[in-house]
Chain A
Amino acid sequence: MSNTLSRRDFLKIGGVTAGALALGQFVPPKVAEAARSSGTLDATNSGYIPTMCEMCVWRCGVLAKVENGRVVKLEGNPQHPHSKGKLCPRGQSGLMNTYDQDRVLSPLVRVGKRGEGKFRKVSWDEALDYVAKKMLEIKDKYGPEAMVFSSTHNLSQVQFENLLNAFGSPNYGTQRSLCFNAMIVGNLLTYGMEEPGRDYSKLKYLILTGRNLAEAISTSETGDLIKSMDRKTKIVYLDPRFTKTAAKADEWCPIRPGTDLAFHLALLNVIITEKRYNASFVSRYTVGFDQLKASVKSYTPEWAANITEIPADTIRRIAREFADAAPYALAHNGWRTSNFVNSFQTARAIAILNALVGNWGKTLVPAAGEGSSALGAPPQPPYPRISALRLDGVPWKYPLVPFKLGVFQELRNNILTEDPYKVHGWLISRQNPIQSLPDRKRTLKAFGEMDFIVVVDIFLNDTAWFADVVLPEASYLERYDPMLPVGDKAFLRQPVIEPQGEAKSALWIYKQLGERLGLGDFFQYEDEEDYIRQQLAPLGISLEEVKAQGYAPLPASEEEENPYQWNTASGKIELYSETLANSGFDACPTWQEPPYPSAEQFYLLTGKVGQHTQFATQNNVLLHKYQDEPRLWMNPKAARRLGLADNDLVKVSSEVGAIKIALQVTEAIRPDCVYMTPGFGHISKGFTIGRGVGASDSALHVTYTDPVSGSQALSQTFVTVEKA
């Protein structure tokens, strides 16, 4: 790293100021009037309006500072438990997401060839009529299943799913199988819940398995981690890279990729063999201890040392320290856990490790449900019956993958194989499958198979670039979304300025489309405010009050929930899973040998940086300003072997593609791995700032699916590197 942030980086985008770009948006009457009447804006249209961030999925509370009708600064909302008054760099940069010079501000219909980027501006009526006509044509000719719907984690997703279900298609693609399927399915089959909550307040010992909290920032949890250092919480961090989290850890274990499972199996082995588990907790609240004991019997630290390249003594000591610190110990279940096809068993082993030492109720707690039933909802007629098989193989190929999670990469594959049928259209909302799915070439080919592609987004991202119709969404500072319960409050995302250009909220777009598809009965709300009012109806609080304070208090649950009851088949924590056994999978965590790269190959690792979220933020002028140049990390030992030097342009090849990227020679990575930050290498010419920066990891990733959880194994791609 150079001594100061590279000045070249600043000069690339020379002269344009945040202020200049932010100029000129005066709040027109509706938003301003509402904000003035709720007391958040004064007579000059200046003040702070509470809303919610959308620069990642943590959704911090935001106070948007508005001056003379334009957003000039965002502050963390101290009343929101996810921000506690703080925002990360992405949250701070959020106003340039709204004022981005490359926003799509009117509906577009393609006029050139796909990928040529030639569109004409059309009215909303023309665009929506055209989309509805095409979708109905496909439905009439091939059935509703011939339309694929896909969208990634967002607050209006509930209405996107409503559109999908009302239309009657079983084909739904989300980011989940590319991210956390392994962890969610692991937790479901152990605790009967997707992801238990974590309590750092009395934590003494923490094992992070690749959970890079200092760079994959979840503002409040990242803060909790750093605060725990003051209580002298011991932090053990497993990662083939020396990340910024590794730098904060007491102990960094540069584990060999794909072997986290072996490490955790050895921890289970030591804790059981040395009888360091919490016997009374295990006997009262778990099932299958004897089977587990038999299953992990041979997984000694010596066995694991050979596989993980972590010394046996270290593994044994960590097991003992962890058990000693229990119940104030925590093995973190990680977040993006889809690394190898054995990642599901890793997730199970981590879940079981916590149960074995009795951390439940102390550091691992029942999740505060996001799906609070206290909020109302618009009336909902029953959905049509769906008889077609799902293209993503759930459940006919993947019996244990929950419908909600799906297997997106398999869906994409089956578009090409036409197994079990051919699809013809794709509706994509706030998602970028060209960049998020592995094997970009194959995704582009799947796009080529489509008669019709429609994209809802705020930018011409790589996916919108190949669309036939682009519907411009309002940014998160310009729109309402359905409310989000967090703890004892439901928080509101509300517009702090009027949408720019012709942009409209997703709630509006889905309803308009639904009505034109003859599905109006499924969208029983007048407009966005009416939707929120229906949500608030059971709470007896007005929208105006909620707009002023940013949230509605939720009533305390009447039934006292028993935290020692689990929604599993046995009602207990399942160390042995009958469900897994019945489907022909290992019922207790069992070692599964991962593939290893050849002597010429490297593991291709990807991970997060604090300045970006996935593929969506690279065009943000403020994040671009403060990002590191995205280069390929390589250990100097490997670089010497290949005769490569820092900043050399290198060619990186996998079995599905090749990219060119600058090399960063760094001690911070194992010699058998290379690393690149995902989300760069955009194809779309609709990005002025983000285009031409870095390279795409999706061009290299090979598609591998875990048969249990449906996870895409994102670190199982091996590459060769040579001078370009």
Chain B
Amino acid sequence: MTTLTDISSIKKRAILFDATRCIDCRACMVACSVENNVPNDVTRIWLAGDGVVGQYPDLDRATMPYHCMHCEKPACASACPVGAYTKRPDGPVIYDGDKCIGCRYCMNACPFDVPHFEWDRGVDEHPIIIKCDLCSNRVDSGGEPACVATCPTDALIFGDRDDLLKYAKERIGNYPDRYVHEVYGETENGGTSYLIISHVPFEQLGLPTNIGDEPVSELSEKIMEVTLPFAVGWAAVLSGVTAGVRKYHQKQAAESAEETEKEA
């Protein structure tokens, strides 16, 4: 079972990660790279956690595939001056590279340290933020996210957030010795669509445990009230630059493609 809810009837898309089932094989990461055509020097899912913990021979392992938490109230969206982030009502937080101006406010705002900025890329090489979009295209056409679909041990399960929360709590109830008695993401930062249950304390998986239940976005909105006029002004300038540079590069790319064809 990898999808708890009939996909067409999901109200709020979410993923439940069960660290006790994960074997750290990284099939999810490879599948994500292929599905989303992610360049080889970056990743949308990375490995987090302390790895081997304890002292020989009393050992345990703590790792998780870490990616966007898809917050109910995403701080990235509140912090973004140009609306490059959208929270879809059905769950995913979507990043639009065409709107992004590379200001990196989202990186500072995200309490989970998710948006990764591509320092090696110029602002014209969009997208410059690499982030999970919950495989929205796949799911919109009736499939499961690529990571969930391939997970050989069903450590990743897809479904409606409410159903997954209920299921996660049932599992904790059925196996009280196996799990920490809490679902990470139920309330953190106002709730997330990536939910986690675990055999080790969540901080060992690399998850921040010092963030409250109140979404950071409310805080960032307050800041934005002060900085917004400035930011929007800057944004206009940067967008202009971006568009210009991008056009130039598109032209160059077209020319070099022609040359390649001629050579061939």
Chain A residues engaging chain B, CB cutoff 8 angstroms: 1, 3-5, 10-11, 13-19, 72-76, 85-89, 91-93, 95, 214-215, 217, 219, 222-223, 226-227, 229-230, 242, 244-248, 252, 254, 610-611, 621-623, 625-626, 635, 637, 666-671
Can you sample 16 A-B contacts with CB below 8 Å? A1-B49, A1-B63, A3-B206, A5-B47, A14-B41, A15-B39, A88-B27, A89-B27, A92-B30, A95-B34, A222-B23, A226-B153, A244-B61, A610-B24, A610-B27, A670-B56
Do A667 and B52 touch (CB < 8 A)?
Answer: yes
Kindly identify, within residues 138 to 197 of chain B, every residue whose CB is under 8 Å from any CB belonging to chain A.
146, 149-155, 175, 178
Do A86 and B152 touch (CB < 8 A)?
Answer: yes
Residues of B within 8 A of A230 (CB): 175
CA A622 to CA B46, docked complex, whole Å:
13
Do B30 and A89 touch (CB < 8 A)?
Answer: yes
Instruction: State the Cβ distance, A149 to closest chain B Cβ, in Å.
Output: 35
Residues of B within 8 A of A16 (CB): 39-41
* Given known contacts A75-B150, A93-B30, A1 and B52 CB-to-CB distance under 8 angstroms: yes
Interface centre among A92, A223, A611, A626 (most CB of B within 10 A): A92
CA A229 to CA B25, docked complex, whole Å:
18
* Given known contacts A16-B40, A93-B30, A217-B152, A666 and B23 CB-to-CB distance under 8 angstroms: no
CA A74 to CA B39, docked complex, whole Å:
18
Residues of A within 8 A of B8 (CB): none
CA A10 to CA B39, docked complex, whole Å:
9
Residues of B within 8 A of A226 (CB): 21, 23, 153-155
* SS class, residues of chain A in contact with chain B: mixed
Do B41 and A15 touch (CB < 8 A)?
Answer: yes
CA A11 to CA B41, docked complex, whole Å:
5
Instruction: State the Cβ distance, A237 to closest chain B Cβ, in Å.
Output: 12
* Given known contacts A610-B25, A668-B56, A73 and B41 CB-to-CB distance under 8 angstroms: no
Contact of A17 among B29, B31, B37, B61 (CB under 8 A): B37
The answer, yes or no, to whether B98 is at the interface (CB within 8 Å) is: no
* Given known contacts A89-B30, A626-B26, A1 and B50 CB-to-CB distance under 8 angstroms: yes
Residues of A within 8 A of B233 (CB): none
Residues of B within 8 A of A217 (CB): 23, 25, 152
Residues of A within 8 A of B60 (CB): 247
Residues of A within 8 A of B38 (CB): 17-18
Q: 8 shortest A-B CB distances, which residue pairs?
A: A1-B51, A247-B61, A610-B25, A214-B23, A226-B153, A92-B30, A19-B37, A89-B27
Contact of A223 among B26, B31, B153 (CB under 8 A): B153
CA A668 to CA B63, docked complex, whole Å:
15
Residues of B within 8 A of A10 (CB): 40-43
In the complex, which residue of chain B has the Cβ closest to the Cβ of A217?
B25
Do B150 and A13 touch (CB < 8 A)?
Answer: no
Instruction: State the Cβ distance, B190 to closest chain A Cβ, in Å.
Output: 25
The answer, yes or no, to whether B226 is at the interface (CB within 8 Å) is: no
Do A215 and B23 touch (CB < 8 A)?
Answer: yes
Do B46 and A4 touch (CB < 8 A)?
Answer: yes
CA A1 to CA B59, docked complex, whole Å:
14
The answer, yes or no, to whether B96 is at the interface (CB within 8 Å) is: no
Residues of B within 8 A of A229 (CB): 20-21, 178
The answer, yes or no, to whether B33 is at the interface (CB within 8 Å) is: yes
* Given known contacts A4-B46, A667-B55, A625 and B23 CB-to-CB distance under 8 angstroms: no
The answer, yes or no, to whether B228 is at the interface (CB within 8 Å) is: no
Instruction: State the Cβ distance, A585 to closest chain B Cβ, in Å.
Output: 35
* Given known contacts A16-B40, A17-B39, A88 and B34 CB-to-CB distance under 8 angstroms: no
